[in-house]
Structure 1
Amino acid sequence: MSITLDIQLKRYNRIYHQGEIVSGVVVVESRSETRHDGITLTMDGVASIQLSPRSAGLIESIVNSSKPFTLINQSVEVAKSGRLAAGKTEIPFELALTPRSSSKTLYETYHGAYIMVHYSLRCDLKRSLLAKDVNKSQEFIVEYRPGSVAKEEMQPVPFEIRPETLQNVRDRARIPRFLVKGHLDSAVFPLSKPLSGELTVCECERGISSIELQLVRVETCGSTEGHTREASEIQNIQIGEGDVCRGVALPIHMIFPRLFTCATTTAPNFKIEFELNIVIIFDNDHLVAETFPIKLVRC
């Protein structure tokens, strides 16, 4: 006997905010009349942390704080044991998106290298001992409610990159004399809008091979007693190819990828932050990078 199970949410984009009602239908399709021992729907929200290999041997507090913790967990019986008619059956459901009392708040959905915040619905159709249960899972997305940003936070951030401003440079002899000026439109960016600004190569004594924007996530796991901090690249966009013209403004424009970014988050045992690297690669394959901390928000 073939039975298919599906979860269809009313919202096509599957985006919800804390306190809202997650609603939809459970769809059961069967070629013939089907007996079952109940259909349950479970809403789960979990934040899990995976320590990097470099954190091996760190103090016990980091290991303890890296254990997954439940943000939300609730179940509802959408159908009591009985029979389902042949064909397609739709069973409506509603579940409130409220955190457990121990969690107090729901964090945004996020798929990172070492941190993951994941929300899902799982439907279980129970059958007799001689038949296998049928299961189906469906991920949905949780976002913070849009807020406001202070005007002083939205001011342009001017920058000037030259050899003297670079940090952690191993071989300064390979760095040519150069001057790059520009600005970011802000240090705080709404996730619904692109990161923007402009950059101008004023002078450079060597040829330039490429100018790139690198979006980096900085994931911190642990507590005040000890923590591990890992940075990893999310995406890289080239804004200048070859030996770009001097004195010409190049636009900085980057759209934030969904799921791999979220609003900047600080939780008791983890932090999710973001940085922008402006990378200049010279024609001798030597590169320099300037890092700018940025804050991502919902507004």
Structure 2
Amino acid sequence: MELDIRLKRSNKVYTEGESLIGVIVIDSKSDSKHEGISLSVDATVQMQLSTKNVGIFEAFYNSAKPITLINQFVEISKNGRLPSGKTEIPFEVLLKPKLNRQLYETYHGVFITIQYLLKCELKRPMLNKDIQKVIEFFIEYNRPNNEISSSIKNLISFGRTTGTKSLNFQLTPESIQNVRDKNRVPKFRIKGLIDSTICYIGEPFTGELIIEHCEQLIKSIELQLVRIETCGCAEGYACEITEIQNIQIGDGDIGRLVPLPIYMIFPRLFACPTLITNNFKIEFEIKIVIILDDNHIITENIPIKIIRYSQLELQKK
């Protein structure tokens, strides 16, 4: 006997207040009996600390319990018989969060995970193993006035009133931090432009970089997307910084005074709109890394805020 769940929406992307509509498909080689068929929707925020912080925040480590966003159970059938062949059972489940909760966007991080699962269970008579099928579906914010956290509302409001927020930056030996002997740092001057630090998740992160002067040969220029995951409670906070993706935008000794385009697509699931709550935070940075021929590394960290809606969509709202 085989069990499957097929959602009507092929991309499996939903918003709060919509319904999961689909069919349960049971393929049985012979006429058989069952003791019940059920559906459950479970949505949780999972938090954990890295091993280096367990001793420091042991009290928090013990209290970092999952946050339940949805916990719904639907009984499809108490018991009965299934004919041989394929049986399709339609279902519809409303995506409604628990009281005083809201649905955050799906996010797969290292220390924070926001996941939405739909599970079907078919109970079988004694001596027969129960059959389960679990699939993941995805949540995205629906509209700016959706009941989401105040921090997200502030981000959306900021983007609406100011539009894009471009950033000009310049790198010189004097601007580098945490260097013991700046006399050993080669002379260089690099300038750049970030088109907007308020980023729509559905559009690329763009800008340009210009090497005005560098007395050392350049080996590589890379663009990194970095996640900053913070978990916390009254006992303390733990912040973990990890790399999501690394894209090389320049190989070898880049020509001087030649604009080098910056272009990065935000990856699905591993990036989400910037999220700040009482228990956890998910924030992002862009890191520009310039590797010189003598293995000196020049970096520039640029904090960004990610939102779901572009300016054009916000104006339409």
Give the secondary-structure state (helix, strand or coil) at the position aligned to 1:279.
Answer: strand
Among 39, 54, 57, the alignment partner of 1:56 is 54
Specify the alignment match of 1:260 in structure 2: 270
Change (3 A) 1:171 1:18: farther
Specify the alignment match of 1:20 in structure 2: 18
Change (3 A) 1:150 1:83: same
Specify the alignment match of 1:194 in structure 2: 204
| 2:112 is the counterpart of 1:100 | no
Specify the alignment match of 2:228 in structure 1: 218
Say if 1:153 and 1:187, in contact at 8 Å, map to a contact too: no
Distance 1:259 1:135 in 2: 25
Among 15, 39, 42, the alignment partner of 1:44 is 42
Among 159, 173, 183, the alignment partner of 1:163 is 173
User: Percent identity of the aligned residues?
Assistant: 51
Say if 1:121 and 1:138, in contact at 8 Å, map to a contact too: yes
Distance 1:60 1:75 in 2: 34
Per mean C-alpha deviation after superposition, the further-off stretch among 112-121 and 156-165 is 156-165
Corresponding letter in the other structure for 1:216 = V
Give CA deviations for 1:215-260 in whole Å, capped at 9, x if unaligned. 1000001125510101000000011111100001011000011111
Change (3 A) 1:171 1:259: farther
Change (3 A) 1:168 1:145: farther
Distance 2:173 2:163 in 1: 28
Specify the alignment match of 1:298 in structure 2: 308
Structural mapping, 1:119-138, within 5 Å: 119-138=116-135
Among 196, 215, 237, the alignment partner of 2:247 is 237
Corresponding letter in the other structure for 1:130 = L
Distance 1:191 1:81 in 2: 46
Stretches of structure 1 lacking an aligned partner (at least 5 in a row): none
Specify the alignment match of 2:27 in structure 1: 29
1:61, distance to aligned residue in structure 2 (A): 5.1
| 2:4 is the counterpart of 1:6 | yes
Distance 1:135 1:197 in 2: 48
Change (3 A) 1:285 1:11: same
Change (3 A) 1:213 1:171: farther
Structure 1 runs, 4 residues or longer, greater than 3 Å off? none
Corresponding letter in the other structure for 2:39 = L
Corresponding letter in the other structure for 2:10 = Y
Stretches of structure 2 lacking an aligned partner (at least 5 in a row): 145-155, 310-317
Specify the alignment match of 2:313 in structure 1: none
Say if 1:65 and 1:222, in contact at 8 Å, map to a contact too: no
Say if 1:65 and 1:269, in contact at 8 Å, map to a contact too: no
Corresponding letter in the other structure for 1:22 = L
Corresponding letter in the other structure for 1:138 = I
- TM-score normalised by L of structure 2: 0.90
Say if 1:279 and 1:289, in contact at 8 Å, map to a contact too: yes
Corresponding letter in the other structure for 1:278 = I
More helix per residue: 2
1:167, distance to aligned residue in structure 2 (A): 1.9
Change (3 A) 1:59 1:20: same
Corresponding letter in the other structure for 2:96 = T
Say if 2:69 and 2:98, in contact at 8 Å, map to a contact too: yes
Give CA deviations for 1:53-101 in whole Å, capped at 9, x if unaligned. 1212234552254211211100101223111111111111111111111
1:270, distance to aligned residue in structure 2 (A): 0.7
| 2:213 is the counterpart of 1:203 | yes
Change (3 A) 1:190 1:281: same
Give the secondary-structure state (helix, strand or coil) at the position aligned to 2:93.
Answer: strand
Distance 2:237 2:184 in 1: 35
Give the secondary-structure state (helix, strand or coil) at the position aligned to 2:60.
Answer: helix
Say if 1:17 and 1:145, in contact at 8 Å, map to a contact too: yes
Give the secondary-structure state (helix, strand or coil) at the position aligned to 2:240.
Answer: strand
1:179, distance to aligned residue in structure 2 (A): 0.9
Give the secondary-structure state (helix, strand or coil) at the position aligned to 1:296.
Answer: strand
